Structure formats: structure tokens, C-alpha cells
Structure 1
Amino acid sequence: MELIVWVDNWQMQCCGDPFSIGSRVSWKLIDADKEWLADVVGAHVADRIDGAEEHHGGSADDAITEGTVTGISAVHCRYAPRPGSADRTRCPVPGSGTRTALTSADGWTPDHGELQFAGYLVELTGVRG
């Protein structure tokens, strides 16, 4: 079984363990926020994401998913207030997302100019759980 998992930058920075291609990981997965992710990575990619790694929510009974990391992409995007909105909350700018293949992840991937690091797309194989 194969999965594509979203890992938020802040989740990794707070509580995550670094991983690399070939690492065996054990993660609690929740449903990914595909609406938000569609703005970050595009709807086509967001639809393929199977879950999001989570350290802070859920319950103690949540199952752990184990798998071997076979791909890692750092995701960067621009953030800005939504056009025409009085709310000044900065949101991902649709269509601004980029992906960069990596061999390892520690949560501290640098920004690329105005493109801010948002998180990782991680491909897992040999999934159990």
C-alpha cells in the first residue's frame, strides 16, 4: 500500500523527528484539509493526498500508520490577504505553490524569497496501520 502524506512545517518544527528517503516512520494521520491544500499545491495534487501527519489532535486511541519514506517534496507558496476581503489574515495564494524534491526533512527548510515554506509532501510505501 502507498500513501501521500502532508506534514505541516509547524508540526515538524514543534514535535517532529527528522526523516529521510528510506526512513521507516510511525505517524498518526488525520484527514487532510484538502480545501486549504488545493490553494497551496493545486486541486489535482491535493486530491491525491491521503492524510496529514498530526501530533496535537485526535485521541489516544488513534491508530498509528507506519511506512517507508520513498519521496519528499518541500512545498513553498506565497501568502497574502484574500482579494476583496476586509479580513487581513494571510492565506496561501492559489497557483503560487512550488515543490522541490529533497532527500531529507527536518522542518526547517528555508523560504525561497517571497515563497514561504509551508510543509512537506511525503510518499510512503509498505504502509501498515
Structure 2
Amino acid sequence: MNTTVWMDSWQMECCGEPFALGSEVSWAVVAPDREWLTKVLGAGTAATVDGVEEHHGGRPEQPAPVRGTVTGISAVHCRFAPLPAEPGHTRHPVPGSSTLTPLSSAPRWHADRGDLRFVGFLVELDAPAR
């Protein structure tokens, strides 16, 4: 069964383990925040995300274990800007600005690309049905 998992950049940078195509992984996942993912990825891609890797807690739901073989990795970058109706320094993802770059491996740290900020990895897994 194919499963798509979102991994936030900060989760990987904090204490994630690098992985590559063909790696066997075991992650705790929670339900995706569709509103935020839609801003970052667009509605079509956000709808494909089955879960979000979470190893820090702080969410009301219990994480579910997902084990599988990595079959696809994309680095996701997007622009951030203040909302027009919200003065101040808080920056938000700019809808439609995301880029997905296929990778063969996911390093612990991944660079920004100019004004495009690295926000996370979109990972495809071949995982047994739960």
C-alpha cells in the first residue's frame, strides 16, 4: 500500500535520521493539518498526504506507527510573506509558490533556494496495510 508522509523541516533538523530511496523506516505519524499543507503544497498535493511524521509529541492524538520502504522523496520549498491584512513580522506560506524537487536521499539539513525556504519532505512509502 502506498502511503504519503509529510516530514517538517524542523522535525528532521532537530533529531531526524537521514534516509534514502529503498530505506526501511518506522515513524510515528499523526493526522495532517490540511489547512497548513494546502497553503504550502496546494490543495491537490495536500490531499494526497496520509500522515505527518511526529516524534516530539504535543499533539492531542496518539501517533500511529507506520513502517515501510521509502519509494519517493521530494524536498519542498516555498516563499513566505506577511499577510496583507495582518501587519507585523509574522510570515506565512505564499500559496502557489511551492516547488517539489525529487531526491534520492533526505539529509538532516537541506538548504533554502534563494527566497524559497525549505519547509519539509514529502515521502512516499510502500507500507503494509494497517
Task: Give the TM interval when normalised to the shorter protein.
Answer: over 0.9
Residue 42 (structure 2) pairs with residue 46 (structure 1): no
Unaligned runs of 5+ in 1: none
Runs of 4 or more, structure 1, over 6 Å off, are none
Q: 1:27 is matched with which residue? A: 27
Pairs aligned (count): 128
Gaps of 5+ in 2: none
CA distance in 2, matches of 1:32, 1:23: 23
Give the superposition deviation at 1:128: 5.3
1:109 lines up with 2:110 in the alignment: yes
TM superposition shift of 1:87: 4.4
Secondary structure, counterpart of 1:7 in structure 2: strand
2:6 paired residue number: 6
CA distance in 1, matches of 2:128, 2:18: 19
Distance 1:115 1:27 in 2: 27
CA RMSD of aligned residues (A): 1.5
Aligned-pair distance for 1:84?
1.8
Q: Deviations over 1:5-52 (max 9, x none)?
A: 000000001111000000000000001111111111100000110000
Q: Percent identity?
A: 55
Letter in 2 for 1:80: A
